[in-house]
Amino acid sequence: MHPGMKVARATLRGLPANPRRCFSATAFCRRPFEERDYVLLKKKRGYDDQGTLCKLKSGHSYHNHFGVIHHNDIIGKEPRQVVKCGSNEYRIHEPTLADYVRLTPRLVTPIYPHDANLIVSLLDIHVDTYASSADSPPMEILEAGTGHGALTLHLSRALHAGNPPPPPPKSPAFDDEQNMEDAVYDGAGLDELNQKSWQDDRRAILHSLDISAKHSKHARKIVAGFKRGMYARNVDFHVGDVSAWIAQQKASRKTDDPFLSHVFLDLPSSQSHLANVAPALHPNGMLAVFNPSITQIGECVDEIRKQHMPYVLEQVVELGVGTVREWDVRQVKPRATLKKPLGVESEPSSPSTGPVDPEKEQQARDGELAEELLEKQEEEKWAMICRPKAGQMVVGGGFLGLWRRMERSSTADSQAEA
């Protein structure tokens, strides 16, 4: 009997189900390629071949100028076996996450694996293995700017261990019992009930938000296509504005308490959402902002200072193909350089015994007022520093700013209310 059928039957009888997880990367769990799997085709002797990504469908074939590879010739074979294509031979591989991101069709430029891995590492995500008796709330991460779905896959992989095994797929052998369950639960089938129960039991959730419904739909397909949707169930996709989504979540949860452990913003106007993100982010949670320009990171720094937001900047790094270079981005007050207005001469410190000249007295008062005004302007004036720290050169990439959510002090609260 198929293991999934055993689990489904055990569930119907009210017995505990313990589905076994299968880790495809381990040597003892290698399985042949099946229909709907993605394979990477590489020339057997082409060491510089980047490969071709192909989704297996029974009866379909892959064509190139060397010949034809029938999908039925690949289905049933194991990784690293060889198939013929005319007079050439191709070796079939199971694509890595980097291969999958690089070769899947795209509507927008993805965050490439070397940058995505660094972002996940800097967020310092730690997820323990799933425990159904956990009393603490689940870890929830917000990714605003789904895009291609590349970073979504990397984040979901980091969270994967915190969730229970997914429910077994619906089996056609239990149609009668399924209909019986439909009648009992007012149209909610056993498969839907198992899925809802599984979602409620998740201990690690990734909310991926994009303003474009087209991009969100495409990213959902990209995430669902990798390893048969192994990491897709950890992600809840949403369409809309970040600030509006956070307000909607507060209303549906009926609380103003923070619920997000980390937030990642890949938006052209990230600084406009920072104030709304802060109340939803747990203290000590990380806020990461990814932008192609360092001046956009500087705008976030400026907005946080002006609005007295409860963030402390930890680091700004420049991402690229080579090494990672850290930047110094901060606002400082320059030293006051008070200059005396032209045409105003210094007055003696001791009072004069001679007659008072009203014109000179007025000039002296004007000079004092000008100095006071200049002092005030110098005190309120800030200068932005954006310069790379000493290090190696990098090529390409973008800029990532990392802030940590801190407790809002009473001084900051009074300034914000004012």
- Would you state the structure tokens that stand for residue 360, as one six-digit string? 């000179």
Q: Provide the pLDDT confidence category of residue 314 given band limits of 50, 70 and 90.
A: very high
Q: Provide the pLDDT confidence category of residue 13 given band limits of 50, 70 and 90.
A: very low
Give the residue, 117 or 357, on which the prediction is more confident.
117
* For range 37-55, the mean pLDDT: 84
**Lowest-confidence range among 147-151, 181-185, 187-191, 306-310?**
181-185
Give the residue, 58 or 324, on which the prediction is more confident.
58
Which of 339, 349, 374, 344 lies closest to 359 in space, CA to CA? 344
- Would you state the structure tokens that stand for residue 405, as one six-digit string? 């959510």
* For range 6-20, the mean pLDDT: 46
- Would you state the structure tokens that stand for residue 236, as one six-digit string? 């809840």
What is the Cα–Cα distance from 72 to 415, expressed in whole angstroms? 69
Q: Using only the alpha carbons of the chain, give its radius of gyration.
A: 30
- Residue pair 402/314 in contact (Cβ under 8 Å)? The answer is yes
* For range 310-324, the mean pLDDT: 83
The pLDDT of residue 164 is: 86
Residue 391 pLDDT more than 50?
no
The 3-state DSSP class for residue 22 equals: coil
- Residue pair 314/405 in contact (Cβ under 8 Å)? The answer is no
Place of tokens 């087209």: 214
* For range 238-254, the mean pLDDT: 95
- Would you state the structure tokens that stand for residue 69, as one six-digit string? 């590879």
* For range 118-131, the mean pLDDT: 88
Residue 108 pLDDT more than 50?
yes
Highest mean pLDDT among 14-18, 165-169, 201-205, 343-347: 201-205
Side chain identity at 387, as an amino acid letter? R
What is the Cα–Cα distance from 213 to 238, expressed in whole angstroms? 8
172: phi then psi, degrees, rounded to nearest 5: -70, -15
Q: Provide the pLDDT confidence category of residue 183 given band limits of 50, 70 and 90.
A: very low
Question: Strands (DSSP E) along 134-200, which ranges?
Answer: 139-144
The pLDDT of residue 282 is: 95
How does pLDDT run across 193-221, given as a tens digit for each residue? 566 777 888 889 999 999 999 999 999 99
The pLDDT of residue 378 is: 54
Q: What is the mean pLDDT of the chain?
A: 77
Q: Provide the pLDDT confidence category of residue 123 given band limits of 50, 70 and 90.
A: very high
Residue 16 pLDDT more than 70?
no
- CB count within 10 Å of CB 377 equals 10
The pLDDT of residue 377 is: 55
Q: Provide the pLDDT confidence category of residue 19 given band limits of 50, 70 and 90.
A: very low
- Residue pair 382/333 in contact (Cβ under 8 Å)? The answer is yes
What is the Cα–Cα distance from 128 to 106, expressed in whole angstroms? 33
**Continuous H helices in 202-349:** 213-225, 242-253, 274-277, 294-307
The pLDDT of residue 132 is: 67
- CB count within 10 Å of CB 225 equals 19
Domain boundaries 25-93, corresponding CATH code: 3.10.330.20
The pLDDT of residue 44 is: 83
* For range 333-362, the mean pLDDT: 53
- Residue pair 290/400 in contact (Cβ under 8 Å)? The answer is yes
Give the residue, 204 or 174, on which the prediction is more confident.
204
What residue segments make up the domains of the chain, in order of their start? 25-93, 101-167+194-333+384-417
- Would you state the structure tokens that stand for residue 254, as one six-digit string? 């009926």
What is the Cα–Cα distance from 158 to 145, expressed in whole angstroms? 18
Percent of the chain with pLDDT over 90: 38
Q: Provide the pLDDT confidence category of residue 129 given band limits of 50, 70 and 90.
A: confident
The pLDDT of residue 410 is: 45
* CATH superfamily label, 101-167+194-333+384-417: Vaccinia Virus protein VP39 (3.40.50.150)
Q: Provide the pLDDT confidence category of residue 6 given band limits of 50, 70 and 90.
A: very low
* Residue 6 CA to its chain's centroid (Å): 38
What pTM was estimated for this model as a whole?
Answer: 0.73
Burial of 12 (C-beta count, 10 Å sphere; 0-12/13-18/19+): middle
What is the Cα–Cα distance from 229 to 305, expressed in whole angstroms? 42
Residue 22 pLDDT more than 60?
no
Question: Which contiguous run of DSSP H or E holds residue 69?
Answer: strand 67-70
Residue 369 pLDDT more than 70?
no
The pLDDT of residue 172 is: 44
Highest mean pLDDT among 39-53, 295-309, 319-333: 295-309
The pLDDT of residue 386 is: 60
* For range 346-356, the mean pLDDT: 51
* For range 230-258, the mean pLDDT: 94
Largest CA distance in the chain: 116
How does pLDDT run across 251-268, given as a tens digit for each residue? 999 999 999 999 999 998
* For range 40-54, the mean pLDDT: 82
Percent of the chain with pLDDT over 70: 65
